[in-house]
Structure 1
Amino acid sequence: MHRYDPARQRLALGLAGLAGLVDATGFVVAGGYFTSFMSGNTTRMGVELVERPALALAPLGLIGCFLAGVIGGAMVGKRVRGRHKRVLLGLVAIMLGAGAGLLAAGLPLPFLALSAMAMGCANNVFVRDGEVTVGVTYMTGALVRFGQGIAARLAGEPLTSTRGYGLLWSALATGAAAGGALCVAAPLLAAGLAVCSALVLWGFAFRVER
């Protein structure tokens, strides 16, 4: 986070918030599975393989969709270097929009598949030399860096490399809370907000890459 200018940091925070919103919506629609948090799906898959093998297909399918999004996003990103942020966020908005439409039509499974693919694609927005520099859909690493930063400050040796990770986690948590609140009324409202948020981030990406 600290290597990026303020505009790109804001984009990362917005994308983390979007990930939290999409994940919370998917969690409600899928009945306890995730569309961006693949560690959670992997744990559930492992447990269900032992207890109820047939149910393991649900998290396995979401993991496959997420991975497809990562692969597709990485391939597209390499072809559009210099403007990959706007292109990838445009694809994320399209997938989330299509998913919301399918959810409105009473088709939750394609909605979940497209949401997972969109979140996989989103992880290619912040990439340098082919490697992810800011993970926007998973926060374990961010919390570790945040904790290391606190420890360094307590020791009187602040680490600039740990700055911003607490905010990144907070953005995802805020997005998840918003998604959960909207899902109390209707998951479709949360899905609609995710589409609108993705479009805003897509527009902001044009400004960032200008």
Structure 2
Amino acid sequence: MRRDAGASGASPADATAEAKRLAIGFTLALIAGWVDAIGFIEVGQLYLSFMSGNTTQLGLAIAASADVRILRAGGVIASFFLGAFAGTLLADAAGRFRLPLVLAVEFALVCAAIALTALRPGFAALLPITVAMGMQNVLRQQVGRADVGKTFVTGALFSAGQSLARALTGRAPRVEWLAFLATWIAFVLGAAGGAYVLHRTSFAATLYATASALAVVALATTPARDAGDQETGG
């Protein structure tokens, strides 16, 4: 039986770095859940970060020949694709500043959605948020062998179950499955929080909260000037 990979050989600095990456990944998943809930309620059964659900909605719309629903689902999916493309280019070029820089662009996109919503509320005003969610996936964090912080959680839930099974047979670290599960829990908490706040305040308030959270994480992950060439956030 293998030794637990997390039981030995990790320095305090490594443990601190992993804890920081887990916290970042947890926060990003929470933001994604928040955005998905408010988008689903406001856009009409379409998600702003969960493209599997939107792909199913697109298929249903095609089967029903529902032109408006086809255009809306296709628009959201295309916006997410654009965000993934642009976010990858930006992150690859930004080096150790990839986390704060991509988050800063996400912040700007959410602010654009706030402005567009104020001018003309509607579906199109929320597409910048979907672009932001596509970009956010390039910031996923590596915690041990766990990939956390994505804006979709089907894989995280599967990986948690798979990792737990392998931990029981000594083929994975005993606590690795918890890192995957943390992403799923964060997403659920974000969705619950977004829906709760939306029902008790306003859509604008939820968007301001989203922008504020992105700004805080961007500032918190900005590398110190004396950090050398070490990349923040893994």
Partner residue of 1:203?
A: 219
1:6 Cα deviation after fit: 1.0
Alignment map for 1:10-159 (pairs within 5 Å): 10-54=23-67, 55-126=69-140, 133-134=147-148, 136-153=150-167, 155-157=168-170, 159=172
| Segment drifting more, 32-41 vs 144-153 | 144-153
Count of matched residue positions in the alignment of Structure 1 and Structure 2? 204
Give the letter aligned to residue 92 of structure 1.
Answer: E
1:156 Cα deviation after fit: 5.0
1:154-176 deviations in Å (ceiling 9; x for gaps): x4536224340111111011111
1:33 Cα deviation after fit: 0.3
Gaps of 5+ in 2: 1-5, 7-13, 224-230
1:43-93 deviations in Å (ceiling 9; x for gaps): 010011011330211111000000001101111111111211110011111
1:135 Cα deviation after fit: 5.2
Distance in 1 separating the partners of 2:195 and 2:140: 26
Distance in 2 separating the partners of 1:73 and 1:57: 24
Q: 1:174 aligns with which of 189, 194, 216?
A: 189
Length-normalised TM-score, structure 2:
0.80
Length-normalised TM-score, structure 1:
0.88
Give the letter aligned to residue 32 of structure 2.
Answer: A
Distance in 2 separating the partners of 1:63 and 1:44: 11
Give the letter aligned to residue 96 of structure 1.
Answer: V
Identity across the alignment (%): 25
Would you say the 8 A contact 2:25–2:150 is kept in 1? Answer: yes
1:113-151 deviations in Å (ceiling 9; x for gaps): 1010000011111379xxxx5451000110011112333
CA RMSD of aligned residues (A): 2.2
Taking structure 1 as reference, are residues 82 and 66 closer, same or farther at Cα in structure 2, changes over 3 Å only?
Answer: same
Give the letter aligned to residue 38 of structure 2.
Answer: T
Which structure's CA Rg is the greater one?
2
